[in-house]
Amino acid sequence: MSAGVRQLTYSGDRLDNGSGRGYLASLARIDATRPVGLAQRFRPGIGPLTEGELTNAVLADLSATEASLYHGCGAKGYPGSRATCDVVIPGRWAIEIKLARPFGDNGKPAERWSENLLYPYPGNTSAIGDCLKLVRSAFTERKAVVVVGYEHSPPQISLEPAVRGFELLATEVRGVDLSSRAERLVRGLIHPHHQPARVYGWEVLGLRASAA
C-alpha cells in the first residue's frame, strides 16, 4: 500500500461524513427496518441480504436522505465492457462492494466465504478481481473497493486475517496500489450472527509499473 496516501473518502470527506449521516448511518437505518430480502428465507437484518440487495437499499436510503451528495448515483456499466460497477457517484467515485460473512443465517460457519475477498485472478468477482477491473477501466472517477463484513460480538471468527490477506495478495501478488485502509464499525445490528458490521474501504490508485 502507498505510504502517506490519504484514506478512502466515500461521501467526499470520510467513510462516514462525521455528522451522523453517510454510509454507516444508512446501514444502521436499514437494519432497523428489519429487512428480509427478496427470498424471505432468512432472519431479519442487513446481514443476510445479498450484495445487490444491500447496495440497492443503501443507494435508495442515501438518495432520499442526502440527495445533494448522491444525486444520480447507482450501478453503471464499465466503459466498453458488459461488466457493471456496483456504485458510480458521477464525477467522484466508482466503487465495487463486497460482502464477508464467516457465518450463515443459521449460525453455522460458511464455506468458502473468504474467496469473495481473496481469489487472485483477473475476471473473477472477488475483491481482488474488482481491483484489477477498476484499475484497468476507463472510469474518470476515483476508484475504490468497499468490503462490508459481519462478525459476532465478540467475534467467533475474526475478519482481520481475511482482510489482511486481501491487502497482501492485492498489493504484493497482483501489484495493485491501494491507499491505506479505512475501517469503521456499525454496532447493534439485529441479526444474532451478523451483529456488528465492519466496513472497510481502500482507494484503488493504480498498478505498480512491474504489474502494468
Host H or E run for residue 132 = helix 127-135
Extract the C-alpha cell encoding 4. 502517506
- Average pLDDT over the chain reads 88
Where does the pLDDT of residue 8 fall: very low under 50, low under 70, confident under 90, or very high at 90 and above?
Answer: very low
What is the value of pTM for the model shown? Answer: 0.88
Mean pLDDT, range 168-187, rounded to an integer: 95
Mean pLDDT, range 20-42, rounded to an integer: 87
Where does the pLDDT of residue 38 fall: very low under 50, low under 70, confident under 90, or very high at 90 and above?
Answer: confident
Mean pLDDT, range 178-200, rounded to an integer: 94
Comparing 2-16, 156-170, 190-204, the range with the smallest average pLDDT is 2-16
Q: How far apart are alpha carbons 168 and 71 in whole angstroms?
A: 35
Contact 105, 43 (CB under 8 A): yes
According to the model, what pLDDT value does residue 125 have? 86
- Return all residues near 6 (Cβ < 8 A) that are at least 6 apart: 179, 180, 203
According to the model, what pLDDT value does residue 210 have? 67
**Rounded to the nearest 5 degrees, what angle is found at the Cα of 116, between the Cα atoms of 54 and 203?**
75
According to the model, what pLDDT value does residue 2 have? 41
